[in-house]
Amino acid sequence: MFLDGLDDLDQKIVELLIQNARMSYSDIGQQIGISRVAVKMRVQALEQKGIIEEYTTIINPQKISGAISCYFEIETKPDALMETALRLKENSTVTQIYRVTGKSKLHVHAVASSSEEMEQLIHGTIDQLPGIVECSTNVILSRIKDIKGLRL
C-alpha cells in the first residue's frame, strides 16, 4: 500500500484524515490511543515533509445536473509537449494533467458544466494546440472506484 513508508501511527492518522479531513486531533487521538497534542505534532510534521499537501472538498461532478467529465490522451511532437501542457494548465475546464509514458504523452482530465462547454474545450482549445499528433477523448460515465487522498 502507498502508506508503507510511514510508521504505524502516521499511517493510522493519514487513513483517518483521508476518510474525514475535518476530524479533530482529539478524535484522532482517541481512535489511535495518543494525545491530541501528539496527533497535532505528527500532522504538522507530515505537512512540513510535504506528505500531506492540502485539505480540500471533493465534488462529484456527476451529481451536478448537466456536468460532464472527460479524459483525453494527447500525443504531441516532442518539442510541443511543454507548450501544450502549459496552455491546457491555463484552461479552467481542465482539472488534471499528467505526463505519462507510452504513445500518449499527456493524460488530461476535464470537467465541464455542459456538453457545449466540453465541445468548446475540444474545438476551441485542444484542436488549436500546436504539435498535436493524436488526441482521443473518453467521456466518464460513472465512477466505480476513486481513492481519496492519494495524488498519483
Chain segment 50-61, per-residue pLDDT in tens: 999 888 877 777
Task: Check whether 150 has a pLDDT greater than 70.
Answer: no
Considering only residues 106 and 56, tell me which one the structure prediction assigns the higher pLDDT: 106
40 three-state secondary structure = helix
Residue type for position 2: F
CA distance 52 to 38: 16
Q: What is the mean pLDDT of residues 27-52?
A: 96
| Domain of residue 94, CATH code | 3.30.70.920
What residue numbers bound the domain in which 28 lies?
Answer: 8-48
Same domain membership, residue 133 and residue 73 = yes
Closest CA to 91 of 101, 104, 106, 79: 106
Does 90 reside within a domain?
yes
109, 75 contact by CB (below 8 A): no
Does 82 reside within a domain?
yes
| Domain of residue 29, CATH code | 1.10.10.10
Q: What is the mean pLDDT of residues 86-102?
A: 94
Does 126 reside within a domain?
yes
Same domain membership, residue 118 and residue 80 = yes
